Amino acid sequence: MVVDLREPERADRLFHALADATRRDIVVRTLEGTHSVSALARRYPMSFAAVQKHVAVLEDAGLVTKHRRGREQLVRGEVDTVRRASQLLDGLEAVWRGRIDRMDEILTDPEGDTP
Amino acid sequence: MTVTDVHKDPDALTMAIVVELDATVERAWQLWSDPRQLERWWGPPGYPATFGEHDLTVGSRVGYFMTSPEGERHHGWWEVLAVDPPRRLELADGFADDEGRPDDDLPVGRMVVTLEERGGRTEMVITSHFPTLEAMEQLMAMGQEEGMVQAIGQIEGILAEAGSAS
């Protein structure tokens, strides 16, 4: 897994989310296939609410997404999606940093203020 | 560097970049409203942009192309979704074919620019939204990829040079 350490907040959330064995297990299971929260809850010796909380932490870290199907909440692992999106956003940031450098040049250039 | 904050949300596919510019709001607005100034910063290094029609009123299309070092043209367009000069601009941002006609099969991004006065300087926030991950991949790949890689290389070069900020 790629963690962008230039984004400490994001890395913190990610590592925190993955620091728990149940949560790691949920990520592995939901990456293999979609599971409902109730199906997941049956697998662990804890309450439905506790499993739901674990899923929420994973969701917050972007490791899974929840989708509603009828009355069920389906959980899907998203590590790769998050990584792809994160890399694209890094590229976009680089594009904008370049543009902003050039804006700066125009603003400081006395000739830049075209009539 | 005048970038004061970058907020990336990979789940929501949005990025907000906060910039402090040493200029008044009116002056900063010209970076967007004057096509001759826009041309100097929009395209990545080596890919100068040329803006033809450029009218920042709601509903109008702004057409441009970027010229590659080999002379190839990459066309794009904006559509003005909302405008409140000199403080707010909301644009749809898409690609066009070789004739400059908007390609409706390609996804469209959305960009919101706000300018606010902060003690004689201007805080500019640019927020980019993409409808889906696939759309974002496509938009980033289209006509920008080669230029982007170069741009990134050049930015790193600029940053490596101490005191390069004129």
For chain B, the domains span 3-160
With a cut of 60, say whether residue B73 has pLDDT above it: yes
Establish if A114 touches chain B: CB-CB under 8 angstroms: yes
Residues in A touching B37 (Cβ below 8 Å): 106, 112, 114
Which of B3, B27, B136 has the CB atom closest to A97's CB atom?
Answer: B3
Residues in B touching A7 (Cβ below 8 Å): 8
Q: Give the model's pLDDT for residue B121.
A: 92
With a cut of 90, say whether residue B90 has pLDDT above it: yes
Q: Give the model's pLDDT for residue A1.
A: 41
Q: What DSSP character marks residue A13?
A: H
pLDDT, tens only, B100-132: 787 777 778 999 999 999 998 999 999 999 888
What is d(CA B5, CA B2) in angstroms, rounded to the nearest whole number? 9
Distance from CA of A21 to the nearest CA of B (A): 23
Establish if A93 touches chain B: CB-CB under 8 angstroms: yes
Whether A98 sits inside 8 A of B45 (CB atoms) is yes
Q: Give the model's pLDDT for residue B150.
A: 46
Q: Give the model's pLDDT for residue B166.
A: 37
DSSP readout, B7-37?
EEETTTTEEEEEEEESS-HHHHHHHHH-HHH
pLDDT, tens only, B35-70: 999 998 988 878 889 998 899 999 999 999 888 888
pLDDT, tens only, B132-156: 887 787 777 654 544 444 444 443 4
Query: By C-alpha distance, which of B80, B94, B73 is closest to B140?
Result: B94
Query: Which sign, positive or negative, has the C-alpha torsion A95, B53, B31, B124?
Result: negative
Q: Which two tokens stand for residue B148?
A: 């982007």
Residues in A touching B3 (Cβ below 8 Å): 96-97, 100
Distance from CA of A33 to the nearest CA of B (A): 19
pLDDT tens digits in sequence order for chain A, 115 residues long: 444 545 667 777 877 888 888 988 898 788 777 899 999 999 999 999 999 999 999 998 888 999 888 888 899 888 777 677 778 888 888 889 989 999 999 998 866 454 4
A70 φ/ψ angles, rounded to the nearest 5 degrees: 60, -125
The CATH number corresponding to B3-160 among 3.30.530.20, 3.90.1150.10, 3.40.50.300, 3.40.50.920 equals 3.30.530.20
